[in-house]
Amino acid sequence: MRIRDTGDLWWKNAVVYCLDVETYMDWNDDGVGDLPGLVQRLDHLADLGVTCLWLMPFYPTADRDDGYDITDFFGVDPRLGDAGDLVELIRTAKDRGIRVIADLVVNHTSDRHPWFKAARSSPDNPFRDFYVWRTEEPPPTADEVIFPDQEQGIWTYDEQAGAWYRHRFYRHQPDLNTANPQVRDAIAKVVGYWAELGLAGFRVDAVPFMLADAANSPHDDIEHPHEFLKALRSFLSRRTGDAILMGEVNLPYEEQRMFFGDQDGDGSAEGDELNLQFDFVAMQQMYLSLARQDAGALAQALRDRPHIPHDAQWATFVRNHDELTLDKLSDDERAEVFAAFGPDEDMQLYGRGLRRRLPPMLDGDPRRVRMVYSLLFTLPGTPVLFYGEEIGMGENLAADGRLAVRTPMQWTSGRNGGFSAAAPRRLAGPVVEGGFAPQHVNVADQRRDPDSLLSFVKTLVRRYRECPELGWAERAEILDQPHAAVLAHRSTWQDASMIAVHNLGPEAVTVPLRLRDLVREPGDAGPADGTATTRSAAGDDEPVRLVDLLEDGACEVDPDGRVEVELPAYGYRWLRVVRPGSRRLL
């Protein structure tokens, strides 16, 4: 493996940025964000260091689920622009060094989609089998509902069809029947269409649900549900060699590995399904660690990560566009996180998650906010930012459900945060109010402030991109040290190695570390391959240093491999291991 391979497998050390066009920038001032507005803000993303832009659904929609109820997989919502505007976005982003991917939402459609309208018209209609039906009344299914505040079961009777149709999400989103090869062909056609227009891949929504019906028919041409995902990945790779599938698979680690295409779990296989999967387990354990001010839960999650194929990757995140799910925690653990970060019932959602952004959860404490984002960028994997995180946006709990965190982007301190000149009542969503309102949190002010959160996140992005070990390390090595509040971990790839130390607690600490591979014995020489180790090629008795990548300073490692690292309350250090003779830039 060579440094040039980081360009071939670009997703392994990318910086992904997720946004909803509808709430990002309104260029025609009708109150709804649009593609021309997003094009005007691409330089903000380029300046931030983003390398991959993830677009939430931009397709025509009935707009009952913020765009995830799609009525045409081959179109662009006319409120946002047209296909020409999307092509201009992709072209301009490419010029700025940014790839564009989009949500692929094919586990269901809107009930207003032409396929469903045709399917319900007659049992003999060719589109009938595009969906999942039953003619007998179903048993109670309240325990299978995804949104328990909205639905009482996953089957709804349709008068026109004279049958019940299944919907694992909302009743206005009937499930597509992926047991039908024609449905799978239609999905491939959607993927091929957008790839031809220039998309670099897709974030695949609710992957386990998408696969649930595949291979269920006795006349199917596949024998296992994962054959569908393998075929989709193969098809996309043939059409666009370096395009990716980044999947939402909120399952335990042992089940997640199968979605990379690694059936035996040894991590040695070539991944032939999803390129990336979101690490929901580590995210939830991180919030438990933050609530306890004890790094143990996150450290254990990192130890528990399974080996994955070398060209696969974890997508790490602090916040995404949905509720901050805590479903992998026990009831008691979830109660701890609720008590720390969302004690009011209005801050919680579905009894399993939070509808808040990070800065308000941490009471706006800039030390803690910066520590968490520093931690994000040091976790082995590909970091994913949700729009507004780079400036520390808050939520608006007056908005319904998950829309609390999907408020208009805050560009300036002016009206509507500079998102739109339209009247507030016409906006796609309510602007954040209070201490996190645009008057206090916006891009324009932070661009000119070298001490702002935006400037800090830019530094994190740049340093992450300069440290291939953060994306390419097989796993994090958790370093022993005596402080429960501290996470010390090391990422190594080839001759690049970095130690990250984060203090989740309110007390300053001195962290002693023992790095056994850095022990210097008298007369040590470099290895046979010529790679510099603890001594230079000339045999100079120079110490190994840990050079701070976020600020000036370094620590010397003593001959016994020991070093002490000073951390203030909620402090953090990125320490590059610099051996004598190292030629890496710092």
Residue 337 lies in a domain: no
User: What CATH number is associated with residue 129?
Assistant: 3.90.400.10
pLDDT for the residue 583: 86
Q: What pLDDT score was predicted for residue 262?
A: 82
**SS3 of 423-436:** CHHHCCCCCCCHHH
The last residue of a domain, from among 456, 473, 490: 473
Same-domain status, 485 and 564: yes
Least confident of 63-77, 263-277, 476-490: 263-277
- Are 466 and 401 part of one and the same domain? yes
Phi, psi of 564 (to 5 degrees): -115, 135
Instruction: For residue 202, name the pLDDT band (cuts at 50, 70, 90).
Output: very high
pLDDT at 486 over 70: yes
Domain membership of residue 196 (yes or no) is no
> Would you name the residues annotated as active-site residues?
205, 248
Q: Are residues 128 and 161 in the same domain?
A: yes
Between CA 384 and CA 321 the distance in angstroms is 11
Do 393 and 419 belong together in one domain? yes
Separation CA 546–CA 496 (nearest Å): 12
Q: How far is residue 543's CA from residue 579's CA, in Å, rounded to a whole number?
A: 7
Q: What is the pLDDT of residues 409-423, one digit of tens each?
A: 999 999 999 999 999
Given 473, 495, 521, the domain boundary residue is 473
pLDDT in tens, 331-361: 999 999 999 999 999 999 999 999 999 999 9
On whether both 396 and 441 belong to a single domain, the answer is: yes
Same domain, 498 and 418: no
Position 585 in a domain: no
Residue 507 lies in a domain: yes
Q: 450: which 2 tokens?
A: 């070298």
Is 90 exceeded by the pLDDT of residue 533?
Answer: no
pLDDT at res. 35? 98
Whether the per-residue pLDDT at 480 is higher than 50: the answer is yes
Residue 530 covered by a domain: yes
180 pLDDT above the threshold of 90 = yes
Instruction: Specify if 97 maps to a domain.
Output: yes
What is the total count of domains within the chain?
A: 3
Beta bridge partners of 501: 488, 573
* pLDDT of 526 above 60: no
In this structure, what are the phi and psi dihedrals at residue 219, rounded to the nearest 5 degrees?
-100, 10
Whether residue 480 sits in one domain with residue 446:
no
List the domain range (segments joined by +) for residue 123.
114-166
C-alpha 333 chain-centroid distance: 23
Identify whether 502 is part of a domain. Answer: yes
Do 300 and 226 contact (CB within 8 A), yes or no?
Answer: no
Q: Is the dihedral of CA 268, 272, 273, 278 positive or negative?
A: positive
Coil, strand or helix at 527:
coil
Backbone angles phi, psi at 577, to 5 degrees: -75, 115
Note whether 541 and 565 are same-domain residues: yes
487: CATH: 2.60.40.1180
Pair (40, 69) in one structural domain = yes
| 297 occurs within a structural domain | no
C-alpha 517/C-alpha 524 separation (Å) is 12
The pTM score is 0.95
**Cα–Cα distance between 428 and 147 in angstroms, integer?**
23
Total number of residues shown for the chain = 586
Supply the mean pLDDT for the chain. Answer: 94
What pLDDT score was predicted for residue 144? 95
pLDDT tens per residue, range 371-381: 999 999 999 99
Residues 499 and 440 both lie in one domain: no
Look at residues 423, 456, 473 and tell me which one is the last residue of a structural domain.
473
H or E element, residue 209: helix 207-211
* CATH number (domain holding residue 73): 3.20.20.80
Same domain assignment for residues 14 and 101: yes
558: left (phi over 0), alpha (psi -120 to 50) or beta: beta
pLDDT more than 90, % of the chain: 89
**Ramachandran region of residue 542, left (φ > 0), alpha (ψ -120 to 50) or beta?**
beta
User: What is the structure's pLDDT at 269?
Assistant: 63
Instruction: Specify whether 487 is located in the same domain as 433.
Output: no
Residue 145 corresponds to which tokens in the numbers above? 């509902």
Q: What pLDDT sits at residue 223?
A: 87
Structure-token pair, residue 115: 């396929």
